Amino acid sequence: MHVNIARTAARAAAAGAVVTLGLGSAQAAMAGPAPADVSVPCSATALASDIAGAVSGQTLNLAKFCVYELHAALPAISVDLTIAGNESTVERSYHSSTPDFSIFVVTSGADFVLNNVNVRNGDSAGGGNNPPASNSGNGGAIYNENGNVTVNGGTFTGNMASAFGGAIFSRSGDLTVQGAVFTGNQAEEGGAIATQFNDPSSVAGSSFSGNSAVEGGAVYVEDSMAVSHCNFTKNTADDSGGGIYVDNGSPTVTESGFYQNQAEFGGGIYNDSEVTVTGTTFRLGQAEYGAGFYNDDVATMNGTTFAYNTAESDGGGFYNEDQAAVNGSSFTGNTASFGGGFYNDDVATIDGSHIFRNTATVDGGGIYDNADDVSLTNSVVSENHPDNCAPTGVVSGCIG
């Protein structure tokens, strides 16, 4: 049996304090010492035991370079807890007899912090009318149900979910991700991360590569997530949003890069809500429509670059189906049948932008305006093939 002396001492001290102080001394008790940290031996059994017995506010320090191989689900985290990785890995066993489960489950409003832990092979397949939290079909690595989760560093590799969030699913809580790496995760919605009804969440300084989903190859958003300084490379969606699918909320994407992502609609981003993108690059994306970006609601693009994206049909750089405002952006070397740089099917304003040397195999090398409602100001549209704008005369201020 695993016994941790530090934890036992902390519990004994806490119990003694209750007896001595009595019910009238709650404030003094709250001012007491923080619970002692726990060093977790390199044993999956020990890790399960220490999570089950954790005191709120405690830190579990994993053994350096250890691989904690799980053959069964860990206890749910229902108290405030930090797990420090020390370059260790927590993985669901690759043995064929291992049941499906999420690796970490957070409930009851707990604050959970995961520092520099590598998480592999979580598999939340779900199923049935009332699946357990450990196998809900959401969040193969982390399933957050009404908790507050912070992830600092670490890698998330080969995790799966049958519904939302191959690596992380966060619902009705907070999610903050900083400096993490997501590779080869998959789900129905959000191959790496999916959020739903969250307070504003944030993902910063992180990278996403080779993740896949039906919608949102890397990230699926249903809140006001802030994405900043992230890279999205070779993520794929069978339907929409090779990099990010925006379904709700008002997310922002700032100073990030989308490279070689693929989908049918929106190789880089598919937007079905209200999104603002600033200082971001979409390069070498592929899609049937909107190889860089597909907008189906309200999109604002500030200082954004679209380069060498390819759409099999319309909108090599950008496809607009609703309301788009493009400011100080550039479109170069993009290709499509119609609208090599920009395809408009509703209302678009393009200001202070440069649309240069894009190609349409049929018409509208720079801009194809199918709705007769592009407002072009302070912008240059030049050297596109076979023409700069189409149909002829529709885009005021565009010549050739």
pLDDT in tens, the chain (400 residues): 333 333 333 333 333 333 333 334 444 444 567 788 999 999 999 999 999 999 999 999 999 999 999 999 999 999 999 999 999 999 999 999 999 999 999 999 999 999 999 999 999 999 777 899 999 999 999 999 999 999 999 999 999 999 999 999 999 889 999 999 999 999 999 999 999 987 789 999 999 999 999 999 999 999 999 999 999 999 999 999 999 999 999 999 999 999 999 999 999 999 999 999 999 999 999 999 999 999 999 999 999 999 999 999 999 999 999 999 999 999 999 999 999 999 999 999 999 999 999 999 999 999 999 999 999 999 999 999 999 999 999 999 898 7
**Six-digit token pair at 362?**
């049929």
DSSP string across 120-172: E--EE---SSS--GGGSSS-SSEEEESSEEEEES-EEES-EESSB-SSEEEES
Q: What is the CATH number of the domain that holds 151?
A: 2.160.20
Do 20 and 142 reside in the same domain of the chain?
A: no
Q: Give the residue from 207, 273, 205 showing the smallest Cα distance to 241.
A: 273
What are the helix (H) ranges across the chain? 5-21, 26-30, 44-52
Domain housing 68: 37-237
DSSP 8-state secondary structure symbol assigned to residue 232: E
- Is the Cβ–Cβ distance between 99 and 124 less than 8 Å? no
Question: Among 105, 92, 112, 150, which residue's Cα sits nearest to residue 132?
Answer: 105
Q: What pLDDT is stored for residue 21 in this prediction?
A: 31
What is the per-residue pLDDT for 6? 37
Write the CB contacts of 5 (distance below 8 Å, at least 6 apart in sequence).
none
157 and 297 share one domain: no
> Is residue 341 a contact partner of residue 365, using CB atoms and an 8 Å limit?
yes
Same domain, 98 and 129: yes
357 is a domain residue:
yes
Residues 21 and 169 reside in one and the same domain: no
Q: Which residues pair with 306 in a beta bridge?
A: 282, 331
Structural domain includes residue 249: no
Scan for tokens 């929409």, then name that residue.
240
Q: What is the pTM of this model?
A: 0.91
Cα separation, 74 vs 397, whole angstroms? 63
- Going by C-alpha positions, the residue among 205, 246, 210 that lies closest to residue 227 is 205
Peptide bond into 391 cis (omega under 30): yes
Q: Cis omega (within 30 of 0) on the bond before 132?
A: no
Q: What is the number of structural domains in the chain?
A: 3
Same-domain check for residues 45 and 24: no
329 and 287 within one domain: yes
User: What pLDDT score does 31 carry?
Assistant: 54
- At 21, which amino acid appears? L
pLDDT recorded at residue 28: 42
Q: Are residues 30 and 3 in the same domain?
A: yes
pLDDT at residue 14, as a whole number: 35
Domain membership of residue 268 (yes or no) is no
30 and 59 share a domain? no
Residue finishing a domain among 180, 208, 237: 237
Residue 62 lies in a domain: yes
| Residue 108 buriedness (CB in 10 A; 0-12 / 13-18 / 19+) | exposed
Q: Which of 141, 257, 251 is nearest to 200 (CA)?
A: 251
pLDDT of residue 83: 98
The answer to the question of residue 271 being in a domain is no
Cβ atoms of 344 and 376 closer than 8 Å: no
Q: Note whether 15 and 76 are same-domain residues.
A: no
- In the three-class reduction of DSSP (H, G, I as helix; E, B as strand; rest coil), residue 114 is classed as strand
